[in-house]
Amino acid sequence: MAGIEEVARLAGVSTATVSRALSGNGHVSPTTRERVQAAAAELGYVVSSNASSLASGRTRNVGVVVPFLSRWYFSSVVDGAEAALLSKGYDLTLYNLSGGEEPRRSVFEHFLLRKRVDAVIAVALELTDDEVKRLLDIHKPMVGIGGPIPGVRTLTLDDVAVAQLATEHLISLGHTQIAHVGGAVELDLDFHLGSTRRRGFERAMHEANLPIRDDLYQPADFTINGGYAAGKQLLGRPYDRPTAIFAASDEMAIGCLLAARDLGLSVPRDVSIVGIDDHELAEFFGLTTVAQFPRQQGELAVDVLMGELMPDAGAPAALDTELPFQLIVRSSTARPAEADARPSSVF
């Protein structure tokens, strides 16, 4: 556990020079820099981040706050952010809010305030005004993913457009009886995915002059299990069965797919299914989906943050950035089997 002083002595310079040489801040002649680096290496010297932070006011650490961790989307975002941060010499301190109200309060009232982090990334979180205020008061750069959070730089996915795209894919194939498996309203807490995506679905239907039938809507909870139950309901009906299902997440879509199989229906011959996310299992199941790219979202959030933390080179990124998405057509969607009445049909 060598300290900066020993390095300085070994290199024959002052501690200030060691600091400059190792951090890259301030000018040091190439020769001394090398001497210092050699000395540091020899002694196995690593700066004490605490001392450094205390003196400089920078921690080289960012807090990432997520509402869940053990779900594909969130762990992927964190994964991407971690890799990006690591490569820039930053640490990632994780705050998981899934514990309930109590932990959530303590995260915002204590943990994030104790100057352990330079900035925070909030993933799919709806922060209260008070929470935002606390963080901004403290003068910490912050970026939200999935927001939007008022007053905070956010990366947002246009969920309405995403859902609309998925639905339009089905419509363009000639489907008219399209069911929607969406988020249950009770789950609409932090991220309004449920209602936003439903809006996109309805917009697409509306623009295509297709009726939106209440009986073709099934709420679920974003899990495979929930999607399975919803799919059974939708596909088990004796008449007027939908020819296609748009599920608001891949996990629910996979549930529908398995429900169809268990009912003896063939996908996509009897029913087309499309989801959202491009979940790690989507390819395996041949699921057509609108991909969002969670790893990249995490990386992008870090880029934006770095732009704020080192205000020199960076373009002053827009306050609100749209995240990319992309329709990925696999084998779960096709034209409906029946003779279709689609006017623009080429047949």
Partner DNA sequence: ATGAAAGCGCTAACAC
Partner DNA sequence: GTGTTAGCGCTTTCAT
Distance set, CA 336 to CA 133, 242, 254 (Å): 52, 10, 19
- Contact partner, 196, from a second copy, DNA, none, Cβ < 5-8 Å per class: none
Q: Please list every residue from 43 through 62 that binds DNA, using CB under 7 A.
A: 45, 47-48, 51-52, 54-58
The rounded distance, in Å, linking the Cα atoms of 12 and 15 is 10
Distance set, CA 268 to CA 182, 242, 310 (Å): 20, 12, 51
Tell me the number of residues near DNA by CB under 7 A: 32
The rounded distance, in Å, linking the Cα atoms of 307 and 57 is 18
Give, as one character, the DSSP assignment of residue 324: P
| Binding test (CB under 7 A) with DNA, winner from 32, 61, 75, 96 | 32
Name the residue nearer to a second copy (CB basis): 155 or 229.
229
User: Does position 25 bind DNA by CB under 7 A?
Assistant: yes
User: Does position 229 bind DNA by CB under 7 A?
Assistant: no
User: Does position 53 bind a second copy by CB under 8 A?
Assistant: yes
Query: Long-range contact list for 307-313, CB < 8 A, 24+ apart?
Result: 308/119, 308/141, 308/143, 308/153, 309/58, 309/118, 309/119, 309/141
| Binding test (CB under 7 A) with DNA, winner from 22, 132, 229, 323 | 22
288 beta partners: 274
Task: Give residues with Cβ within 8 angstroms of 89, minimum separation 6.
Answer: 60
- Cβ atoms within 10 Å, residue 158: 15
The rounded distance, in Å, linking the Cα atoms of 324 and 252 is 22
Name the residue nearer to a second copy (CB basis): 94 or 310.
94
Residue the block writes with tokens 């933390």: 309
User: Does position 110 bind a second copy by CB under 8 A?
Assistant: yes
Binding mask 59-98 for a second copy (x = CB under 8 A): x-x-------xxxx--xx-xx--xx--xx-x-xxxxxx-x
Strands 320-322 and 326-328: unpaired
User: Does position 221 bind a second copy by CB under 8 A?
Assistant: no
Binding mask 246-285 for a second copy (x = CB under 8 A): ---------------x------------------xx-xx-
Residues near DNA (CB under 7 A) are 3-5, 12-20, 22-23, 25-29, 31-33, 45, 47-48, 51-52, 54-58
Residues near a second copy (CB under 8 A) are 1, 46-51, 53-54, 59, 61, 69-72, 75-76, 78-79, 82-83, 86-87, 89, 91-96, 98-99, 103, 106-107, 109-111, 113-116, 138, 224-225, 228, 261, 280-281, 283-284
